Chains A and B, each alone.
Chain A
Amino acid sequence: MANTTMARSFLQAVSSTEEVTPPLRVVQIEGLAVLKIIKHCNEFLPALVTGQLLGLDVGSVLEVTNCFPFPIREEDEEIEADGANYQLEMMRCLREVNVDNNTVGWYQSTLLGSFQTVELIETFMNYQENIRRCVCIVYDPSRSAQGVLALKALKLTDSFMELYRNNNFIGEKLREKKLSWVDIFEEIPIKVSNSALVSAFMTELEPESPVKECDYDRLRLSTAPYMERNLEFLIDCMEDLSAEQNKFQYYYRNVSRQQAQQQAWLQKRRVENMARKAAGEEPLPEEDPANPIFKPLPEPSRVDSYLITNQISNYCNQINGVAAQSFNRLYLMKALHDD
C-alpha cells in the first residue's frame, strides 16, 4: 500500500515537473544551421522556401543544431506524399550520422519581411500540436543584401494561441485578455554558437584583408529600390487595412440597426401588452427568439486586421532602420567629398 502511494506520488511528481516548463528565452543556433538556411534561401531566390530545424529543447534554451531543406512544394497529391517520404527519409539518414533528430520548428525565407500571414499561424498551430515548443526562423535575403544578418526567431504567444484555437478572436475577448496586435508574435533572441573545431578553422582561414564583403554591402549607397518596394508593400497593406476597417464599420452599423429594430419591436410589444392587460388578456412574452431580428450577428474575426497591423509596423521599422543607415552613408559620403 505504502508502495503504491509512493509510486503515485512519484508519478505525480514527474507529471508536475513536466507541466512546469520554463518559458523559452533564447534560441541557440549553430553556425552550420545558419549557413545552411542562408544557402538554401539564397539559392532559390526569388522563390520562397522552407525547411525543417533539428535540435534539442534544453530548459529555457532551444538549441538548433542542424536543419534540412524541403523541396519546393507542388500542388499535387502524389508529390505531397512524396514530400512526407522525403522528410522521413532525411530524418532517418541524419540520425544515422548522429545528428539530433528532434524537430524543433522550421525556417522560411521571406520577401521584405512579409511573413505575417494566416498561413504562418496555421503552420504554427500544426507544429504546436506535435511538439510542445517550436520556433520559426525567418530569413530575409533582401535585407541581408544590406549587410545585416536578417535572421529572426519567432513564436506565437500563449495567450494568442489560446484565443485562436477557440476561435475567440472577437473584440470582447481581446479586451478581456488585453491582447493587442503586438502580442501575436514573440521574437526570441538568437544566440549563435560554433563548435571549438569550427571556431579554430574559421580563425585560421579568416582572410587578412581588412575589408570584408559585408562592408561593401553596408556602405552601398543605393537604397532606393529597397525603399521603393518597401513603400509599395506598405501602401498595399494600408489598403488592406482600410478594407478591414470598412468591414468592421459595416458590422457595427448592422449591429446598431439591429438594436434599433429590437427596440422598436419591444416598444410595439409593450404597447400591445398594455392593451391586452386593459382588455384582461394574458400578456405576450417580451422576447421572440424566432424573430430574425434577435439573431445575433457574427462578429468578424480580428485576426486579419491584427496581422496587417503587424505587417505595417514591420515595414515601418524596416524603412526607419534603412533610413537611419542611409543618413550614416550620406554623411560619410559628404565627408569624403569635402576632403
Chain B
Amino acid sequence: MSVLQFFPLASPVQSARLHAVVLFNICDGYVRRPDQAGRVIGTLLGSVSNGVVEIKNSYAVPHNESADQVALDVDYHHSMYLSHLKVNPKEVIVGWFSTGLGVSGGSALIHDFYVKELKDAHSSVPPVHLTVDTSFMSGEACIKAYVSVNLTLGDKPLAAQFQEIPLDLRMIEAERIGFDILKTTTVDKLPGDLVGMEASMVRLYSLIDDIYKYVNDVVEGRLPPDNKIGRVLADTLASVPNISPAAFDKLLDDKVQDNVALIYLTSLIRTQLSAAEKLNTAAQTL
C-alpha cells in the first residue's frame, strides 16, 4: 500500500524579511534585462536566525529559458558569489528570486539547483524563493516568499510544492532614508537638516491634532469610547517624565545655554579662520 505523504512544515524557515535594497536591485535588474528575456532571476544573500531569513543582498544571474528547459549561468553565479563573500563573508546564499507573479514552470528546476547549492555549503536551511511581480499583473505590488516542500509517494518523490511563508516588508532602512526620496522618480534636492525637522514636526503636530479631536469626540459622546485606545493614550501621557516646573525650566535653560555657547564658539572660530586666511596669504613685505 502506498501512502501519499505530505510532510508537515517542520521547516527551519518560518518567515522572511526583505531589505529595501534587494527590491531595488531586482527592479533594476528587470529594467535592464536582455531583449527577449521574460523574467529575471538571481541569487539572494543574507542570513538566517531563529527561523527568520533576512534577505539583505542580491544579484541577478543571466539565464536562458525555453519551453521545457532552463539554463542558468552557473559560473557567473559562482564568481559573483565569491566576489560578494570577499566584501561580506557573513552574507551567504539564502535563496533565489524571480520576477513574475507566483511560481512558474521552470521554477522547480532552478529551485532544485539552489537546494543543491545550499546542501554543498552545509547549510541546514532550505532556500527561499522570492517572487516579485514587476508587471503588476494583479494590479498591486505582489511580493511573495516560498519554501518548497516535497510531496512523496512512499519513497518516490512526486512533486515539489511551494508553500508561501510570511514576508516582512517593513523596510526600516528605507524609512530611515525617507520614502519621500525613494518613492518619486526624481528628487531635485536632498532635504537638509531643517527641512526634515520641519516635516517631522508637521507630522507630530497633525498626530496630536488627531488625538485631540478623537478625545474630544469621545468626551462629547460622538464616538464610542474604546478602552484600548484610552489605555494607550494614558500610557503615552505617563511616559512624559514628571519634573517640577522649576527643575524643568532649569534643565531647558541649561541646554539652551549650551547650544547658544556652541553656536557662539563656532561663529568665533569661523571669524578667526577668515582673518587668519587674510593674514596668511597676504603678500609678505620684508
- Tell whether, in the assembled complex, residue B255 and residue A325 are in contact, meaning their CB atoms are under 8 Å apart: no
C-alpha spacing A82/B140, complex, angstroms: 45
Instruction: Say yes or no: A190-B27 contact (C-beta < 8 A), given A93-B80, A327-B259.
Output: no
C-alpha spacing A219/B172, complex, angstroms: 17
- Tell whether, in the assembled complex, residue A320 and residue B178 are in contact, meaning their CB atoms are under 8 Å apart: no
B104 part of interface (Cβ distance < 8 Å): no
Say which one of B115-123, B158-166, B182-190 lies at the interface with A: B182-190
C-alpha spacing A180/B194, complex, angstroms: 29
B20 part of interface (Cβ distance < 8 Å): yes
- Tell whether, in the assembled complex, residue B263 and residue A43 are in contact, meaning their CB atoms are under 8 Å apart: no
C-alpha spacing A219/B269, complex, angstroms: 28
- Residues on A with C-beta less than 8 A from B27 are 32, 195, 197-198, 201
- Residues on B with C-beta less than 8 A from A316 are 266-267, 269-270
A46 part of interface (Cβ distance < 8 Å): no
- Tell whether, in the assembled complex, residue B256 and residue A327 are in contact, meaning their CB atoms are under 8 Å apart: yes
A-B contact pairs, 20 of them (CB 8 A): A31-B181, A32-B27, A36-B21, A39-B19, A69-B87, A69-B88, A97-B59, A97-B62, A99-B32, A172-B283, A190-B190, A191-B189, A194-B183, A201-B141, A205-B171, A210-B207, A214-B196, A319-B263, A320-B263, A332-B204
Shortest Cβ gap from B275 to chain A (Å): 12
Instruction: Say yes or no: A323-B24 contact (C-beta < 8 A), given A43-B88, A97-B29, A199-B183.
Output: no
- Tell whether, in the assembled complex, residue B28 and residue A66 are in contact, meaning their CB atoms are under 8 Å apart: yes
Shortest Cβ gap from A136 to chain B (Å): 16
**Which of A255, A302, A312 has the most C-beta atoms of chain B within 10 angstroms of its own C-beta?**
A312
- Tell whether, in the assembled complex, residue A192 and residue B286 are in contact, meaning their CB atoms are under 8 Å apart: no
- Residues on A with C-beta less than 8 A from B25 are 32, 36
A70 part of interface (Cβ distance < 8 Å): yes
- Tell whether, in the assembled complex, residue B87 and residue A194 are in contact, meaning their CB atoms are under 8 Å apart: no
Shortest Cβ gap from B234 to chain A (Å): 15
- Residues on B with C-beta less than 8 A from A86 are 83, 86
B201 part of interface (Cβ distance < 8 Å): yes
Closest 3 CB pairs of A and B: A204-B141, A213-B175, A316-B266
Say which one of A117-125, A147-155, A274-282, A283-291 lies at the interface with B: A147-155
- Residues on A with C-beta less than 8 A from B136 are 200
B252 part of interface (Cβ distance < 8 Å): yes
Residue of B nearest to A65 (CB): B28
- Residues on A with C-beta less than 8 A from B34 are 98
Instruction: Say yes or no: A219-B177 contact (C-beta < 8 A), given A39-B19, A70-B87.
Output: no
- Tell whether, in the assembled complex, residue A309 and residue B20 are in contact, meaning their CB atoms are under 8 Å apart: no
C-alpha spacing A334/B251, complex, angstroms: 10
- Tell whether, in the assembled complex, residue A149 and residue B203 are in contact, meaning their CB atoms are under 8 Å apart: no
C-alpha spacing A206/B174, complex, angstroms: 9
B74 part of interface (Cβ distance < 8 Å): no
A333 part of interface (Cβ distance < 8 Å): yes
C-alpha spacing A215/B86, complex, angstroms: 35
- Tell whether, in the assembled complex, residue B182 and residue A198 are in contact, meaning their CB atoms are under 8 Å apart: yes
The size of the chain A interface, using a CB distance under 8 A, is: 99
- Tell whether, in the assembled complex, residue B281 and residue A218 are in contact, meaning their CB atoms are under 8 Å apart: no
Within 39-98 of B, Cβ neighbours of A (below 8 Å) are at 56-57, 59-62, 73, 76, 79-80, 83, 86-88
C-alpha spacing A322/B263, complex, angstroms: 10
Interface residues as binary, B210-248 with A (CB distance below 8 Å gives 1, 0 otherwise): 000000000000000000000000000000100100001
B155 part of interface (Cβ distance < 8 Å): no
A11 part of interface (Cβ distance < 8 Å): no
B23 part of interface (Cβ distance < 8 Å): yes
- Residues on B with C-beta less than 8 A from A211 are 203, 207
Residue of B nearest to A181 (CB): B277
Known pairs A313-B273, A325-B197 / 18 extra A-B pairs, C-beta < 8 Å: A35-B20, A36-B25, A38-B173, A40-B87, A97-B61, A175-B281, A192-B186, A197-B30, A205-B23, A205-B141, A309-B276, A319-B265, A320-B262, A323-B260, A328-B201, A330-B252, A334-B248, A337-B248
B2 part of interface (Cβ distance < 8 Å): no
B280 part of interface (Cβ distance < 8 Å): yes
C-alpha spacing A231/B184, complex, angstroms: 37
- Residues on A with C-beta less than 8 A from B266 are 315-317, 319-320, 323
C-alpha spacing A327/B259, complex, angstroms: 8
- Residues on A with C-beta less than 8 A from B286 are 252, 255-256, 259
- Tell whether, in the assembled complex, residue A93 and residue B240 are in contact, meaning their CB atoms are under 8 Å apart: no
C-alpha spacing A315/B31, complex, angstroms: 41
C-alpha spacing A77/B193, complex, angstroms: 43
- Tell whether, in the assembled complex, residue B141 and residue A313 are in contact, meaning their CB atoms are under 8 Å apart: no
C-alpha spacing A337/B143, complex, angstroms: 44
**Which of B20, B140, B265, B267 has the most C-beta atoms of chain A within 10 angstroms of its own C-beta?**
B20
C-alpha spacing A264/B21, complex, angstroms: 73
- Tell whether, in the assembled complex, residue A39 and residue B182 are in contact, meaning their CB atoms are under 8 Å apart: no
Instruction: Say yes or no: A215-B273 contact (C-beta < 8 A), given A193-B185, A194-B182, A328-B197.
Output: no
- Tell whether, in the assembled complex, residue A191 and residue B206 are in contact, meaning their CB atoms are under 8 Å apart: no
C-alpha spacing A89/B78, complex, angstroms: 12
- Tell whether, in the assembled complex, residue A202 and residue B182 are in contact, meaning their CB atoms are under 8 Å apart: yes
- Tell whether, in the assembled complex, residue A149 and residue B178 are in contact, meaning their CB atoms are under 8 Å apart: yes
C-alpha spacing A237/B181, complex, angstroms: 35
A34 part of interface (Cβ distance < 8 Å): yes
**Which of B176, B178, B263 has the most C-beta atoms of chain A within 10 angstroms of its own C-beta?**
B176
C-alpha spacing A171/B171, complex, angstroms: 52
Residue of B nearest to A339 (CB): B208
Instruction: Say yes or no: A210-B176 contact (C-beta < 8 A), given A31-B24, A199-B184, A252-B284.
Output: no
- Tell whether, in the assembled complex, residue A213 and residue B79 are in contact, meaning their CB atoms are under 8 Å apart: no
